[in-house]
Structure 1
Amino acid sequence: MNIIYTERLCLKEASEKDSLALFNIWSNPEITKFMNIEPMINQNQATEMIQFFESLSKKRQGNRFSILLNKSTELIGSCGFNYLDYENDRGEIGYELDIEYWNMGYMTEALTKLIDLGFSSYNLNRIEAKVEPKNEASKHILKKIGFKEEGLLRKFEKAKGTYIDLIMFSVLKEDVI
């Protein structure tokens, strides 16, 4: 099992024992507002989501890390690669954080480490993130850690029964070296 430490955080591969804590995050409509999932209504949905990410990890097609505070080991969010495309040396990240930990720099810290992992261990050349135009917090974090806004993908994805626009962000290996 992969475990990565930062100054204040521990990122460990999500497992079924994290399902209650992740359910509590993924069931909050304020957190899932900009995610492509409806707020979860039972813990089994979180378990199934974790199992999906575990299957991606086994096939080396993606992963998900639970984000824990080093001091208390409290689970405060998750992040990871929604997909890994080794043929083209690129991947896409996704992430979310429990509301009580917003605006404390935790996600910036976690994503900085995740990006480093993508370039150093997965040998990626490009890391992408797709963000809804109204998600100002996510756009701010991505720009802060070196992502560039590439453009609007009009009605790119169907989320919660509606086609939505997404903004493509990316960072290249050469941008951070």
Structure 2
Amino acid sequence: MEGDKLYSKQTDDFPVLQTERLLLREIQNEDALDILEYLSDEDVMKYYGMEPFQSLEDVLEEVAWYKSIRMKQTGIRWGITLKENGKVLGSCGFLNWDKRHYRTEIGYELHKNYWGKGLASEALRAVVQYGFEHMRLERIQALIEPPNLSSQSLLEKHGFLCEGLLRSYEFTCGKMDDLYMYSLIKKDFNDRRAQTND
């Protein structure tokens, strides 16, 4: 789906993105039980930079953070839902949005039961397209732990390039982590789309 066919807006101007199988929408407090299901999973949280969530209070704090970055215009996070049932099975979105430099970071996670079905790829494609077409972004970057091969593969599939290793870049879960810096710039995104449309 291209351009304005990709999304519509809710009453509060939150953009709703649609793909073949997914509806990406604003996350609400009412989604907390669905979210706890995957954010409490050690496998899902392995490279998240946080310990697995223990309670609904943990989830509600995360939802409040989603709302705060939207309000401050430093990011936006979509809940990934299946069109068929509306259940939130992950999230994808932008953080550390720097309007002055037209760049942002992208992050995502998905319920383990839905791994390997192409859903993360479908969500990522829609979010990246929205970022370049409607947020005036010139660069989208991602910070990935070296052992997280599946995330590296996902990004590379969508044209992201690994620019290098940031050594001891982040302190999370009691340790210093090295992180790969991946990026996709608007020119490369447009060139890839032009090639696929030829």
Which TM-score band applies after superposition, normalised by the shorter structure?
over 0.9
* CA deviation string 1:40-66 (max 9, x = no partner): 110111111110110110111111111
What is the TM-score of this pair, normalised by structure 1? 0.98
Separation (CA, whole Å) in 2 of partners of 1:50 and 1:75: 12
RMSD: 0.8
* CA deviation string 1:105-153 (max 9, x = no partner): 0000000000011101110000000000000110000000110011100
Q: What residue number does 1:135 align with?
A: 148
1:63 paired to 2:76: yes
Q: What residue number does 1:165 align with?
A: 178
Contact 1:18 1:66 in 2 (8 A): no
What is the TM-score of this pair, normalised by structure 2? 0.87
Separation (CA, whole Å) in 1 of partners of 2:114 and 2:95: 22
Higher-Rg structure is 2
Q: 1:80 aligns with which of 88, 93, 98?
A: 93
1:9 paired to 2:26: no
Separation (CA, whole Å) in 2 of partners of 1:15 and 1:138: 26
Q: 1:107 aligns with which of 117, 120, 131?
A: 120
Instruction: Give unpaired runs (5+ residues) of structure 1.
Output: none
Q: Percent identity?
A: 37
Separation (CA, whole Å) in 2 of partners of 1:129 and 1:91: 9
1:30 paired to 2:32: no
Q: Which has the higher helix share?
A: 2
Q: What residue number does 1:50 align with?
A: 63
Contact 1:131 1:138 in 2 (8 A): yes
1:74 deviates by 2.1
1:16 deviates by 1.4
Say which SS state the counterpart of residue 18 (structure 1) adopts: helix
1:82 deviates by 1.9
Q: Give the letter aligned to residue 119 of structure 2.
A: Y
Contact 1:129 1:170 in 2 (8 A): yes
Which moved further from structure 2: 70-79 or 111-120? 70-79
Moved beyond 6 Å, runs of 4+: none
Q: What residue number does 2:136 align with?
A: 123
1:24 deviates by 1.2
Q: 2:108 aligns with which of 95, 120, 134?
A: 95
Separation (CA, whole Å) in 2 of partners of 1:55 and 1:75: 19
Number of residues paired by the alignment?
177
1:34 deviates by 0.4
